């Protein structure tokens, strides 16, 4: 089954590849999926290696984590230079926008190898991550749904709390396409079927994380996975509804939401570093569970893994839109201090006075969760926080270079946007245009160390 599918489209093949390249840490001891698993994983966060928990208490299946917590790891897997990832993702999205490659639906696929006789979510190794989390969470599974009116497919990632053997509660942020679908289902007086696909490759994961600004509601964003994978995404038909499942997923849950049915959901330690609050949120009925014969449960650690999913996609999209609208834009980076998607640093070489401020406004318009945007010249390393601060310290005019916009829609998980409403701030840290030598950056001449006779001692540490 696997032979005609690219490695990056199959999590099983990805895990084998990481293992062969010395990029898979195996946790052999039995671990508790409640808290212990995430605590161990947190100690490896950011390393260019992922983790496989081979024995998870109470379940037959292993747990995989860490695919997205290092861009070095991701770049190595995708065979691209690390810094070109946003450009690469942006060009895949652009190709999809111009000539979408539709997914292929085949009658069988690995995810249909086993269909469980009964739905029992407690048999799955679903981890409970942070101390105050309200329960075990699916936090990396891809939702596939269909617009109840038009039939267009949508992909997204939402967090799901396990609330019973066959029930989940879902968090759908304001403005998501799934929210619009649920409202349409309510108007039609129908339930909304969807599938929850656990254990997919980065192609489908990134397609699901592609923001609505790049993949509007009338488009089938599953085709983005085909671009990233380099081959059409494979689906299998649903068995309880017309909604398909990812053929290569490790597990696929066929689910439905009945409009109006809710259940308390939360708390959950979010990407922001804060707990999401408990509130009544849509209840999900799980109708059937399919899986591979030897599945691995995929989860992510809330934090850098999300910065590199939502953040990377946001970055790619802001870069693509800015390059279309603002001359001189070179690169965009979403900082980690900004939770991966609240602070964009834009690098540009302005062609006229005023374009840097135009870039500020365009960046806010391109990605609504942004709260801060900083624009710098092309002699500043946007991935180095000290260099960005240097530009602010020496080039920002606090009277004319700061733009604030009050009472604007933002990201609901950000505590400075209660009820999705708050203020945003842009910093123009570019040099005044036209440039004068006053703002030339002093540099030593680049000289190669080749052929320079050097004696470099190891410093001897003195006892304290
Ligand atoms: C790991 C991860 C977790 C996410 N969790 C949620 C969530 O709980 N609720 C939500 O509405 N969006 C969540 N998102 C963001 C959406 O999946 C993302 O914005 C997506 O583009 C929405 O799809 P849509 O534009 O089709 O609505 C998450 C994204 C990632 C990568
Ligand atoms: Mn969408």
State in Å: Cα 211 to ligand 2 middle.
7
pLDDT at 1: 44
Nearest atom (ligand 1) to Cα of 155: 26
Average pLDDT over residues 105-129: 98
pTM of the model as a whole: 0.94
Question: Does any ligand 1 atom lie closer than 6 A to the CB of residue 317?
Answer: no
Nearest atom (ligand 1) to Cα of 140: 1
Question: Does any ligand 1 atom lie closer than 6 A to the CB of residue 282?
Answer: no
pLDDT at 183: 98
Question: Does any ligand 1 atom lie closer than 6 A to the CB of residue 176?
Answer: yes
Q: Which of 157, 216, 301 to mutate to test the pocket of ligand 1 (most atoms within 8 A of CB)?
A: 157
Taking 80 as the threshold, does the pLDDT of residue 318 lie above it?
yes
Indicate the pLDDT class of residue 356, thresholds 50, 70 and 90.
Answer: very high
pLDDT at 4: 81
pLDDT at 3: 57
CB distance 364 to 426 below 8 Å: yes
State in Å: Cα 222 to ligand 1 middle.
14
Question: Does any ligand 1 atom lie closer than 6 A to the CB of residue 177?
Answer: yes
Question: Does any ligand 1 atom lie closer than 6 A to the CB of residue 213?
Answer: no
Summary mean pLDDT of the chain: 96
Indicate the pLDDT class of residue 57, thresholds 50, 70 and 90.
Answer: very high
Q: What are the chain's domains?
A: 80-296 (2.30.110.10), 326-432 (3.40.1670.10)
pLDDT per position as a tens digit, 427-448: 999 999 999 999 999 999 999 9
Measured in whole angstroms, the distance separating CA 37 from the mean position of its chain's CA atoms is 21
Residue ID of nearest Cα to ligand 1 atom 6: 158
Ligand nearest to the CA of 301: 1
Nearest atom (ligand 1) to Cα of 159: 8
pLDDT at 276: 95
Taking 70 as the threshold, does the pLDDT of residue 2 lie above it?
no
Q: What is the three-state SS of the chain?
A: CHHHCCHHHCHHHHHHHHHHCCCEEEEEEEECCECHHHHHHHCCCCCCCEEEEEEECCCCCCEEECCCCCHHHHHHHHCCCHHHHHHHHHHHHHHHHHCCCCCEECCCCHHHCEECCCCCHHHCCCCECCCCCCCCEECCCEEEEECCCCCCEEEEECCEEEEECCEEEECCCCCCHHHHHHHHHHHHCCCEEEEEEECCCHHHHHHHHCCCCCCCCCCCCCHHHHHHHCCCCEEECCCCCCCCEECCCCEEEEEEECCCCEEEECCEECCCCCEECCEEEEEEEEEEEEECCCCCEECCCCCHHHHHHHHHHHHHHHHHHHHHHCCCEEEEEECCCCCCCCEEEEEECCCCCCHHHHHHHHHHHHCCCCCEEEEEECCCCCCCHHHHHHHHHHHCCCCCCEEEEEEEECCCCCCCCHHHEEEEEEEECCCCCCCCHHHCCCCCCCCCCCCCCCCCCCCCCCCC
Average pLDDT over residues 405-433: 96
Identify which of 281-285, 440-444, 447-451 has the greatest average pLDDT.
Answer: 281-285
Nearest atom (ligand 1) to Cα of 172: 11
Residue ID of nearest Cα to ligand 1 atom 12: 158
What percent of the chain lies above the pLDDT cut of 70? 99
Ligand nearest to the CA of 272: 1
- 83 versus 299: which is more confidently predicted? 299
Nearest atom (ligand 1) to Cα of 302: 1
pLDDT per position as a tens digit, 119-170: 999 999 999 999 999 999 999 999 999 999 999 999 999 999 999 999 999 9
């Amino acid at each position: 089954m696997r032979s005609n599918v690219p490695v990056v489209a199959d999590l099983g093949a990805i895990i084998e590849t990481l293992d062969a390249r010395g990029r898979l840490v195996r946790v052999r001891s039995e671990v508790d999926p409640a808290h212990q698993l995430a605590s161990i994983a947190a100690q490896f966060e950011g390393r260019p290696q992922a983790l496989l928990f081979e024995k998870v208490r109470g379940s037959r299946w292993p747990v995989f984590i860490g695919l997205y917590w290092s861009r070095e790891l991701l770049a190595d897997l995708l065979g691209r230079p690390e810094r070109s990832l946003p450009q690469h993702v942006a060009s895949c999205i652009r190709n999809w926008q111009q000539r979408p490659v539709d997914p292929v639906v085949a009658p069988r696929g690995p995810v249909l190898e086993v269909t469980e006789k009964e739905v029992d979510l407690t048999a799955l190794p679903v981890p409970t991550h942070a101390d105050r989390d309200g329960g075990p969470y699916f936090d990396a599974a891809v939702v596939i749904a269909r617009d109840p009116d038009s039939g267009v497919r949508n992909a997204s990632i939402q967090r799901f709390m396990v609330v019973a053997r066959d029930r989940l509660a879902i968090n759908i942020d304001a403005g998501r396409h799934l929210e619009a679908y649920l409202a349409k289902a309510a108007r039609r007086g129908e339930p909304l079927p969807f599938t929850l696909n656990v254990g997919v490759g980065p192609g489908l994961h990134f397609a699901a994380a592609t923001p609505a600004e790049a993949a509007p509601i009338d488009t089938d964003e599953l085709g983005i996975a085909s671009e990233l994978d380099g081959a059409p995404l494979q689906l299998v038909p649903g068995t309880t509804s017309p909604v398909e499942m990812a053929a290569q997923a490790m597990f696929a849950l066929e689910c439905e939401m009945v409009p109006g049915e809710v259940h308390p959901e939360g708390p959950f330690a979010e990407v922001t570093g804060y707990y999401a609050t408990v509130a009544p949120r849509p209840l999900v009925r799980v109708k059937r569970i399919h899986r591979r014969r030897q599945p691995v449960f995929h989860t992510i650690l809330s934090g850098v893994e999300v910065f590199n999913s939502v953040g990377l996609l946001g970055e790619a999209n802001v870069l693509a839109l800015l390059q279309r609208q603002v001359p001189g834009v070179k690169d965009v980076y979403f900082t980690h201090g900004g939770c991966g998607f609240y602070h964009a640093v834009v690098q540009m070489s302005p062609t006229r006075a005023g374009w840097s401020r135009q870039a500020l406004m365009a960046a806010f318009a391109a990605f609504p969760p942004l709260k801060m945007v900083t624009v710098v010249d092309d002699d500043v390393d946007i991935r180095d926080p000290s260099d960005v601060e240097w530009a602010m310290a020496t080039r920002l005019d606090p009277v004319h270079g700061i733009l604030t916009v009050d009472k604007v829609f933002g990201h609901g998980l950000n505590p400075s946007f209660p009820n999705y409403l708050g203020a945003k701030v842009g910093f123009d840290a570019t040099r005044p245009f036209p440039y004068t030598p006053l703002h030339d950056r002093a540099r030593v001449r680049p000289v190669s160390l080749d052929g320079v006779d050097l004696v470099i001692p190891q410093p001897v540490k003195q006892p304290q």
